[in-house]
Amino acid sequence: MKTVSQHLINGRFVDSHGQDTVDVHNPATGALIGRSILGDEVDTERAIAAAKAAFPAWSATTLEERKRYLQRIADALTERMDELVAMTVAEYGAPAFFAGYMNGQARDFFLLAQDVLKADNFEERYGNATVTKVPLGVAGLITPWNGNPWFIAGKTASALAAGCTVVVKPSELSTLQTQILMECFEKADLPPGVINVVNGIGPVVGNTITHSSDVQKISFTGSTKVGKQIIRDATDTMKRVTLELGGKSPTIVLDDADMDKAIQFALTAGLLNTGQACIAGTRILVPESRLEEAKTAIRTGIEALAIGDPQAPDTVIQPMVSQGHYERVQSYIRKGIEEGAEILVGGEGKPEGYEAGNYVKPTVFVGVTNDMAIAQEEIFGPVLSVITYRDDEEAVAIANDVAYGLHAYVYGVNKERARAVADRILAGRVMINEIVDDPTRPFGGFKMSGLGREFGIHGLDAYLETRTVFAG
């Protein structure tokens, strides 16, 4: 396994035009595990030029040809799956079970994209009018660190299926995982320039992509702050933009719920990826009359969580991806205390015995009001807020009283009532009584959580433009 990353430009692995590199540390131990190269504007322009040159031939391939290439990428990923999982554990600190699940799904995106590809997605006739969907051109794909191969795979599979060529800008915190993915792309032997990957930081590599007049589409997953910058930057060239941004998702525990089961559900939703998940249910809404029961169930639930070595099979709680992110999460724990919320479990500092890694104690605040920063801002760590409500009306109002609208969870016995609550939540996805992951159904956010949808036919459409021809 390589421990120094490269770029993939025009079908070849290349080093940077400049000399910048950055050390990569294992977040669980602090050990140095490799080096990332940081590309610059020259590397990025080369990748864009290669993608532009490859576009006419790639967009002219048949659906069957594209399916064969997608299958080859899936096969290459299957061959390298164990290495990709091991690197995800080492570089990101993801527990082994979760790294396996996430990367298995990354491979599956290339299978699912084949199922979506049908001729009638591209052409429909209405009398003398033919409506044709055509690939947009070069797509710039910019991804975050919390499951970087998963995001690259999801976006790349849809873009290639649509007939676009791509320039990927992976998170600078995930380049060793990206390296394995690039080697799979290379193994699949696509025509040079169809997939290009440039490592580097957002304000350099990402910024060059978003400003380029040779890039027609940006698909970005990351923070709302950077998402706003990207949509501004893309305006000059009127790029099509898909934005998958932050979240502050509610879990509404209805008053007919079995509290132990409800809290187990809420903690699973809240601590997905140890809270480093855009869809984490970080605000737990419980009926005022059942708060004491909820508190007891939370204490028990948190005590049962295994923190530790991401390689151990039972580990659930992982370290934060970086020292910087650890500090950010700690600052929110301090802020919660300053705002007057009360710590039910957890608190500042590292759990005993885990001082070498970026571990945060799973922390749950009670006495939280929805106007506090800990209830409004995305923390992206294992820090949850319990907020009480009096009736369903108030629960929905609190759930919606936030800038984000990515996801929500509802837990209760009466299914019709739970559904009625779910239907009033302003979020792109709501899960009632189950946490499922179905990458064939549309995914994306309301409000400040984003723009557009990914997955399945919606994901394909995001890389297509529509032309109507009237034949007289």
Please report whether residue 392 would count as binding ligand NAD according to CB under 6 A: no
**CB of 136 vs ligand NAD, minimal distance in Å:** 18
Give dist(CA 164, CA 28) in Å, integer: 38
Contacts of 79 (CB under 8 A, 6+ apart): 184, 187
**CB of 425 vs ligand NAD, minimal distance in Å:** 16
Residue located via tokens 């508190």: 295
The nearer residue to ligand NAD, 117 or 406, going by C-beta atoms, is 406
Active site residue 244: yes
Please report whether residue 206 would count as binding ligand NAD according to CB under 6 A: yes
Query: In the sheet that 129-135 helps form, which strands lie side by side, from edge to edge?
Result: 123-126, 129-135, 464-470
Residue ranges of E strands in 288-398: 342-345, 363-366, 383-389
Query: Of the candidates 2, 5, 39, 37, which has an alpha carbon nearest to the alpha carbon of residue 21?
Result: 37
Please report whether residue 221 would count as binding ligand NAD according to CB under 6 A: yes
The nearer residue to ligand NAD, 42 or 397, going by C-beta atoms, is 42
**E strand or H helix at 37:** strand 32-37
Q: List the one residue from 244, 255, 309, 461 that touches ligand NAD (CB under 6 A).
A: 244
Q: Contact 374/383 with Cβ under 8 angstroms? A: yes
Q: 72: helix, coil or strand?
A: helix
Query: Of the candidates 432, 425, 382, which has an alpha carbon nearest to the alpha carbon of residue 404?
Result: 425
Q: Count interface residues toward ligand NAD (CB under 6 A).
A: 30
Q: Contact 158/463 with Cβ under 8 angstroms? A: yes
Please report whether residue 316 would count as binding ligand NAD according to CB under 6 A: no
The nearer residue to ligand NAD, 39 or 144, going by C-beta atoms, is 144
Please report whether residue 255 would count as binding ligand NAD according to CB under 6 A: no
Please report whether residue 143 would count as binding ligand NAD according to CB under 6 A: yes
Print the binding letters for residues 395-434 with ligand NAD: x by CB under 6 A, - otherwise.
Answer: -----------x----------------------------
Q: List the one residue from 90, 245, 297, 387 that touches ligand NAD (CB under 6 A).
A: 245
Give dist(CA 207, CA 201) in Å, integer: 9
Give dist(CA 468, CA 129) in Å, integer: 6
**What would the two tokens of residue 417 be?**
């009532």
Please report whether residue 450 would count as binding ligand NAD according to CB under 6 A: yes
Please report whether residue 121 would count as binding ligand NAD according to CB under 6 A: no
Q: Name the segment binding ligand NAD (CB under 6 A); options: 17-25, 115-123, 166-174, 355-363.
A: 166-174
Catalytic positions are 244
Binding site for ligand NAD (CB under 6 A): 142-146, 169, 171-172, 201-203, 206-207, 210, 221-223, 226, 229-230, 244-247, 278, 378, 380, 406, 445, 450
